[in-house]
Amino acid sequence: MIQKLLVTMSLSIFLLTGLSTSSFFLSDLLTRVIEEGEHNTRQFNFALAQGNEAALFYALQQSKKGSQNWQELAKKLARHNGNVAYLLAEFYLNNDYLDERFISQSEQAIFWYQQAIRLNYPKASIALADLYFHQGNILAAQNLLAKSPVMELLPHQRDGVAVDAVILRIKIAISIGDIELANSLLIKFSSFIKTNETGYLLLNAIKKYQVLSLADYENINSDNNAVTCPNSIQFFATNLRQLAHVERVVKHFRNKPLNDLVCFSPVRYLPFSTLSCSSELEKPIICDETKLHKVADSVSTRYIAIMLPEGGANVHFGILYFDAQDSIDVVAHEISHLLGFVDEYPLVKGHVKCRSSQQQVSAQNIAVLQNSYQGEQNVIREKILRQLAWSEQIKKSTPILQLKNEYWQLGTPEQFEQEVGLFRSETCDNNSAEQQRIFNAFKPISARTKLQYEELNFPQQYIALLHENSEQFLMPSFHYNIALAYYQINNIEQASHWLEKAVGWENNSRRQKKIRQGDF
């Protein structure tokens, strides 16, 4: 009581006489009064104006988190307090707040994490490394972890920060395909990873996605993941976050019209180090598909789909490539290519589908045919119908030829646009004017579809085609990709081996012959 009286008297003398704060050690006195809750309004306002840390903390606690006043107070404290700098970083990372001095909220978070690190706040190093990791900046995350003082204390320190550091190191090892490092870290620190909630979830994910088993493929029993439909797909991703994302994609696919025609094996991990891919933004993903022989014997599906960090979605024979930014609509669009559908927007110039008019029917929804014909209408009509996968859907009363200048012009008239017929598709619009004068691509219906705009639906006529021609236009199994890749490097023995694997997926002798001849 006497001490508090002395403090109050000292403050009163200061406020009345204007003596310097150092004369009465006012900073310490103010701090003590505020921390003990014995201050008055005049004392508090003075302390706040002087930037007293206790006063700033008190004011921060009284302010609404995230308010302008809260942010200003926090920034003042963060100059010297690592914990507050960390809290500021967390606030900006988790809230849609933009400051005109910064381009994005993540940049603000990085700024304040770095301030907390300068103030020797270890938790900030792990948090910032985690942010870099999720942004795809693996090298920055690794460098920060290597410099973190937390790492020097492992494995003796077992607090939350240390566990977070180990978990992040394991996630990074998995994302770059270093399974040996991930396994060694799990063995070394398993005793306290298991006691942490995040660590427990990590261990479950590693088991669920068969992460460690991929170091020894022959130990995988593919029968456990067997699926029963002809159009089966095995999805892969290269890190834990994307594996969870792929699972959501597969789940949402159940609401899509194609769901009844395909089935999925449980999502699995594929080490990025197993692949050799070119995956630039906006450009089609391209991989060295010989590498996939390492995983092929553990896959029990016809097709595989691989999610990569970036790159343009595309189907290459029996493999679907897509990236983490692609929507479920993009994936559904690409799956339709596996089932024999062709794009109805302009393909790249020189695409194999548009080099000449077709010699035989080769797709569910597109026929590339001559524009004009001479001769008897009924004879020409029958000849054209034999070139269409959808000929059974065209009514006898629906025209597919129009007489113009003594030539039969291919196409269904506008007055029949609600019928199934022959309508120009944009598929080959990148051909030269001379090519387009001779032949063009045609589709069954006049309306735009998902094959032209991914956001649209599959029309019922296309779903019916899949049921009518369930196997005729399918892409070969992914084994065909491996065979082709080996053939291109002149390894004929391996190419033949994988061609026979692809043949094993076919029931039709014509398709078997086509695969053996490499004619897809």
Q: Where are the domains of the chain?
A: 1-45, 230-338, 352-454, 478-516
Residues of the chain with pLDDT under 50: 1-7, 9-11, 13-24, 101-102, 215-225
Over the stretch 116-174, which tens digit does the pLDDT of each residue have? 999 999 899 999 999 999 998 999 999 999 888 765 555 555 567 888 999 999 999 99
- pLDDT for position 208: 94
The pair of three-digit structure tokens given for residue 364, joined into one six-digit string = 């569910």
Q: What is the distance between the alpha carbons of residues 26 and 491, in angstroms, rounded to a whole number? A: 84
Residue 283 has a pLDDT of 79
pLDDT value of residue 386: 96
Q: How far apart are CA 480 and CA 436, in angstroms?
A: 32
CA distance 100 to 103: 7
DSSP run (H or E) holding 320: strand 319-323
State the residue for tokens 């000849």.
383
pLDDT of residue 29: 60
Whole-number pLDDT of residue 47: 58
CA–CA distance, 389 with 444 (Å, rounded to integer)? 9
Q: Which pLDDT does position 25 carry in this prediction?
A: 55
| Apex 326 CA angle, 325 and 327, nearest 5 | 115
pTM metric for this prediction: 0.83
pLDDT number for residue 251: 93
What integer pLDDT is reported at residue 489 of this predicted model? 96
**Number of residues assigned to the chain:** 520
DSSP E strands in 174-302: the ranges are: 232-237, 263-269, 277-278, 286-287
pLDDT in the model for residue 78: 86
The predicted pLDDT at position 449 comes to 95
Confidence at residue 142, expressed as pLDDT on a 0 to 100 scale: 94
pLDDT of amino acid 277: 87
Residues 6+ apart with CB under 8 A from 238: 175, 177, 269, 270, 271, 272, 275, 307, 308, 309
Q: What is 404-466 written as a DSSP string?
A: ETTEEEES--GGGTTSSS-EE-STTTTS-HHHHHHEEEEES-SS--TTT-TTSPPPHHHHHHH
What would the CATH number be for the domain defined by 230-338? 3.40.50
Closest C-alpha among 336, 304, 309 to residue 320:
304
- 370, β-bridge pairs: 439
> In the prediction, which pLDDT does 161 show?
85
Summarize pLDDT for 367-405 with one digit per residue, the tens.
999 999 999 999 999 999 999 999 999 999 999 999 998
What's the confidence (pLDDT) of residue 483? 97
